[in-house]
Structure 1
Amino acid sequence: MTIFPLRKLFAAAVVAACLPLAPHVASAAPAANLPDFTDLVDKVGPSVVNIRTTTHVSASPHGLPPGTDEGDMSEFFRRFFGIPLPQGPHGQSPHGGQGGGQGGGQDASPPDSGSDAEQNSGVGSGFILSTDGYVMTNAHVIDDADSIYVTLTDKREFKAKLIGVDDRTDVAVVKIEARSLPAVTIGDSNKLRVGEWVVAIGSPFGLENTVTAGIVSAKGRDTGDYLPFIQTDVAVNPGNSGGPLINMQGEVIGINSQIYSRTGGFMGISFAIPIDEAMRVADQLERSGKVTRGRIAVAIGEVTKDVADSLGLPKAQGALVSSVESGGPADKAGIQPGDIIQKFNGQTVDSATDLPRMVGDTKPGTKATITIWRKGQTRELPIAIAEMQADKTAKGDQKKAPAPKPRASNSLGLSVTDVPADQLNQLKIKGGVLVESVGGPAARAGLQKGDIILRVGDTDITGVKQFEEVTARLDPQKMVAVLVRRGENTQFVPIRPRNPGQK
C-alpha cells in the first residue's frame, strides 16, 4: 500500500472540495453496466438444495446439538449469532425441518429412544437434476454418511437414497421420492469464457440459499486426473460444496467443489467441476450406480521444453511414457518407456493430463489408435482399451455396503495390507503396505488399488499396524506427502487428511 504525506492528502482534499459537483446521473451511469442477478436467482434458487449427512453414534449425555463441540466455527455461530448447525441428536432442526413436524418432509426419522442417535456429520449443497428427484452433489459431501437428508427451499425434507459416487471426479448422485420438482437447466461449460460473470448458490456454514457472484478467473486448471477445473473468484466456503455454478443465462456450468485456502476460509480462489464432465459421470451413475473407465496401463509425465528440444519435437506437448505395465494393453500394443504419446484416436494430446481423460472416456473393450513419437519418427499403434477398476458401486442398502468401512479406516481413505514377501523381493523394497481399496482424499489424489505406500511424511512404512498409527496422528489442516510405488515408478503424492468423522 502506498502511503502519501499528510500535507499532500490535505491539498488533494482542498482541490476536490473546489471542484463543481457532477450531475447525479453521471455518478449513477457506471452502475447501469453492472449485472443484475435477481432474475437469475429467482429462476435457479428453488432448484438448489441443502444436504446434510448423519452418522450413528452414542447419544451425548449432555444433550448438546451435534457440531457445537466439533470446532471453533460452530461455537462462534452459536454464541454470537444464535445459529446452530442443522439437526440435533434427536431430530431438532433450527429451520423447521425434520423432527419438529413443521417441514412436511417425507421419510423423516423419529427421535431415537435407544442409546444410539443420528449425529450430524456434515452439511453441503446440491441441485435438482430432474423433476423426479435426482440430485447432484459432491462425493465428499456424502462421504461415509449413514443417512443423507435433502432439504428443499420450501422446507420439505427427504431422506435420500444414494445412487452412486465417483471419488475421482468428486461427483455423487442421490435420489429423493418426490415429483414435479424444479430442475436446473444444464449449460455447456466448453463455451464458458474467462472474465465471464458467474454465480454460486449454496449453504456456506449451513446458511441455505446463500448467493455469491464473481467472474471466471481461468479454465482447465489441472488438479486431478479427470478434473480440468473452472477457477473463479466467487466466494465459496464450507457448505457450498456440491452447489451449482451458474452463468448469466441461468444455466449450470459447474459444481462448486474446492477452494484454495491457508486458513480454511475463502481467500479469493475457488474451483468448480465442469458440468460436462460431471454429467458424463452422473449419467453412468444413474444407469448402473458406477462409473466405467478405460485404461491402457502406462505411467506418464509431462514433455518439457528441454525434452522436446533434445528429441527434435517442434512443440513441448504430449505425454511422456515413463513405464509400461507388463502384459497390459500398452505393452501388448508395443508402447515402450520413452515414447511420447502425441494423439489418442486422432485427438491431440496437448499435455500429460489430457491423456487419462481421453482414455477414461473410452469404453473398455473397444479398439483405439495411439500416435507416438519414437526416435525421430511418428508411429500409429492399435490398442485394445481395458477397464479401470471402479472406485465404488452403489448398493441397494447403503448401510450394508462394504465399501465405506475400509474407506473410513484412516484419515487418508485407504484400506491396506502387508506386501507379500515375494513382491518385496521382486521390487527390491524393504517395507511398505499394499493398497487394497481407495476412497476419500486418497482417491481424489489419484491413488489406486495395487499401489504400495512406502512413506507417509518423513516416516518409512513398515507394516499395516504402523501405517494406521502414523495416519491416526496426521494433522487434517496440513498436506502430507505420501511416497507411492506404482509399477516401476515412485513418486510423492500430496494428500490432505480428513478429520475424524468428516464428510
Structure 2
Amino acid sequence: MLMQWLRGVVLVCIALSAGAAFARDLPQFTELVKQNGPAVVNISTKQSISPREMLPDSLQSPETDELFDQLMKRFFERDGGGGGKPFDFDSSSRGSGFIYSQDGYIVTNHHVVYGADEIRVKLNDGRELPATLIGSDKRTDVAVLKVDATDLPVLKMGTSAPLEVGEWVLAIGSPFGFDHSATAGIVSAKGRSLPDENYVPFIQTDVAINPGNSGGPLFNLAGEVVGINSQIYSRSGGFMGVSFAIPIDVAQGVIEQLKSKGAVSRGWIGVYVQEIDANLAQSFKMSKPEGALVAQVMMDGPAARALNQGDVILRFDGNPVANAAALPPIVGNTPIGKKVAIEVLREGKRETVTMTVTELPKDPKDAKASDAKPFLTTPVVGTLGMKLSDTEAGVLVDEVIGEPARSAGIAIGDAITQLDGQAVTAVAELQSIAAELSVGKTVAVLVNRGGSARFLAMKIEANARE
C-alpha cells in the first residue's frame, strides 16, 4: 500500500516537473508588448455617403422607374420640396497602424483609409491627431499617413524572409476598437496567394485577427515587425483561425515609394502564368511540378519577343521561381528599365532569355493578348472526345462527348490553339497531331477560354483519337 502511494507521489512530481519545464519553454510576450505597444496606433476615419448609396440594391430603382427615383430624391432632401441638398451621412470605420518614423509617418492598410474624408490617429499616450494621406496602394493594401508630431516612438523593421512555419508571432492592434490588444500564434504558411492579390505572397498565421486589427504590426519574438496584418478568412465575419499578413519585405519597398512620390511603380513583363500540377508537369517532361507556366503573352509587352506560350519560368533575375504565385512579386519589385536574365524550360530544354522590365500599365488588361481573334465557325468534326469546328481563333470545341477531353477539363466554347507543343489552326491539323500520339501519353492542350489562355493536361486513351 505504501509502495503504491509512493509511486503515485513520484508520478505526480514528474508530471509537475514536466509541466513546469513546458511552461518555461513557452515564449513570454510581456516585454515585447511593453517595448512596442507605444508605437502602435488606432486609426479612425469618416466618409460621407450619399442617400442613394445607403439604399440596398433591392430598394434602388432601375433607370426607367422615374417616379420612384423622384420620391426617394424628395424624401432625402432637407426641405422636402426638391430645392435643397441631400443630407450627408457619415460612415465611420476603425483600424490599426504603427509609427514608421519619428517625424510622424504612419503605416496602415489601404482598405482602412480608402475613400476617407477625415482620418484621425490616436496615439498610445492618449493624443488624437489629424492625419494626412501621403499615398495608398491597392495592390499590396498598404497606405502611408502623416501626423504633425516629432520624437515619436518607432518600431524596428525586421525581415520576413527567415520566418519559418511554426514560428511564434505576435500582433498588436485595436480589434472592435479595443485599443492595444495583443494576440499571439504561429506562422501557419508562407507565400499564400489570394484571389486578386497577385503581388503579395501573404504570411498565413493563426493569430486572432478581427475587424479593427487591419493595418497593425505582426512581430517576431525579437520584437521586429515582420508583417502588416491585412485580411482574415471567415464565414462569420470574425476570426476563424486563418489570418493573413503582408510580408514586411514586400511592404517596405511600397512604403518608401509612397513616402517619396505618393504612388507605386512596378515592374511588368506582360505575361499571364498558371500553376503546374503533376499532370501538366508530366506533359512538359518535368520531373516535378515547379516554376510558372506561361499561358499567355501580351502582344505589346516586354516578353513578346523573348517568351513563348508553354515556356516554364524557373528563375527570374537570379531568383528561383517556385510556382506561379511567386513570379508576380519578384517581377513587381524589379527596377523598371533593368535588363534581366530568365531561365526557362522550353520544349524540354533549359534556355536563358533576356528582356528589359518595363512599368506595369495602370490597367494591364488593356494590353492585347497574342491569341485574341474573332470566331468564324465551319462544319463540325469529332476527335479526342470532342466535336470540333474551325475558327479564326483556333479549333472551337462545340461539344464534349467523352474521354480524354472530359477528364482534361475541356469545356464547350474553348478554342484549342496548341496540342502537345504544336500550334493548331485547324481541325485537320489537330487530327494529324492526335494520330501520332501514343496511348497513355499525357500531353498539354492550350485553350483560349473567355479571352484567357490556359494549359490543360490530357491523357491519351485507346480509340480516343477518332
Shorter-chain-normalised TM-score: which range?
0.5 to 0.7
1:358 to 1:58, Cα distance in 2 relative to 1, 3 A: closer
1:147 is aligned to 118
1:345 aligns with 2:313: no
8 A contact 1:50–1:124 mirrored in 2: yes
> How many equivalent pairs are there?
338
Shift in Å at residue 227 of structure 1? 1.4
8 A contact 1:52–1:120 mirrored in 2: no
2:38 is aligned to 46
What do residues 344-391 of structure 1 show as CA deviations (whole Å, max 9, x unaligned)?
A: 123222111122112111122221122222222222222121211358
1:135 aligns with 2:106: yes
What secondary structure sits across from 2:253 in the alignment?
Answer: helix
1:316 aligns with 2:289: yes
8 A contact 2:343–2:351 mirrored in 1: yes
What secondary structure sits across from 1:356 in the alignment?
Answer: helix
Question: Which of residues 176, 183, 196 in structure 1 aligns to 2:147?
Answer: 176
What secondary structure sits across from 2:23 in the alignment?
Answer: helix
Aligned-partner Cα distance in 2 for 1:490–1:140: 32
Higher mean displacement: 115-124 or 154-163: 115-124
Long gaps (5+) in structure 2: 57-84, 367-371, 377-447, 456-466
2:228 is aligned to 255
Q: TM-score, length-normalised on structure 2?
A: 0.66
Shift in Å at residue 198 of structure 1? 1.3
8 A contact 1:173–1:282 mirrored in 2: yes
8 A contact 1:56–1:116 mirrored in 2: no
What secondary structure sits across from 1:180 in the alignment?
Answer: coil
1:360 aligns with 2:332: yes
Shift in Å at residue 194 of structure 1? 1.9
1:380 is aligned to 352
2:394 is aligned to none
Higher mean displacement: 45-54 or 243-252: 243-252
1:35 aligns with 2:35: no
What secondary structure sits across from 2:329 in the alignment?
Answer: helix
Pair member with larger Rg: 2
1:35 alignment partner AA: P
2:237 alignment partner AA: G
After TM superposition, list the pairs within 5 Å mapping 1:15-414 onto structure 2.
Answer: 19-20=8-9, 22=12, 26=17, 28-56=20-48, 119-223=90-194, 224-333=197-306, 335-390=307-362
What secondary structure sits across from 1:56 in the alignment?
Answer: strand
8 A contact 2:274–2:454 mirrored in 1: no
1:39 to 1:303, Cα distance in 2 relative to 1, 3 A: same
Aligned-partner Cα distance in 2 for 1:427–1:149: 53
After TM superposition, list the pairs within 5 Å mapping 1:419-458 onto structure 2.
Answer: 427=374
Shift in Å at residue 307 of structure 1? 2.1
Aligned-partner Cα distance in 2 for 1:427–1:142: 43
Aligned-partner Cα distance in 2 for 1:232–1:381: 38
8 A contact 1:197–1:248 mirrored in 2: yes
8 A contact 1:52–1:122 mirrored in 2: yes
Aligned-partner Cα distance in 1 for 2:327–2:167: 28
Shift in Å at residue 286 of structure 1? 0.7
Aligned-partner Cα distance in 2 for 1:428–1:56: 47
Aligned-partner Cα distance in 1 for 2:168–2:344: 40
What is the root-mean-square deviation of aligned Cα atoms in Å? Answer: 3.1
8 A contact 1:291–1:390 mirrored in 2: no
Aligned-partner Cα distance in 2 for 1:364–1:225: 18
Shift in Å at residue 33 of structure 1? 2.8
What do residues 393-433 of structure 1 show as CA deviations (whole Å, max 9, x unaligned)?
A: xxxxxxxxxxxxxxxxxxxxxxx99xxxxxxx95559xxxx
What secondary structure sits across from 2:256 in the alignment?
Answer: helix
2:277 alignment partner AA: T
Long gaps (5+) in structure 1: 1-14, 60-69, 71-113, 392-415, 418-424, 430-483, 492-503
Higher mean displacement: 173-182 or 313-322: 313-322
What secondary structure sits across from 1:226 in the alignment?
Answer: strand
2:272 alignment partner AA: A
Shift in Å at residue 169 of structure 1? 0.8
Aligned-partner Cα distance in 1 for 2:220–2:89: 37
Greater per-residue strand proportion: 2
Aligned-partner Cα distance in 1 for 2:231–2:212: 11
1:319 to 1:51, Cα distance in 2 relative to 1, 3 A: same
Aligned-partner Cα distance in 1 for 2:136–2:375: 36
Aligned-partner Cα distance in 2 for 1:346–1:251: 28
What secondary structure sits across from 2:199 in the alignment?
Answer: coil
1:176 to 1:321, Cα distance in 2 relative to 1, 3 A: same
Aligned-partner Cα distance in 2 for 1:355–1:249: 30
8 A contact 1:292–1:390 mirrored in 2: no
Shift in Å at residue 337 of structure 1? 1.2
8 A contact 2:191–2:326 mirrored in 1: no
1:486 to 1:226, Cα distance in 2 relative to 1, 3 A: farther
2:216 alignment partner AA: G
Aligned-partner Cα distance in 2 for 1:140–1:293: 20
What do residues 91-117 of structure 1 show as CA deviations (whole Å, max 9, x unaligned)?
A: xxxxxxxxxxxxxxxxxxxxxxx9966
Identity over aligned residues, as a percent? 49
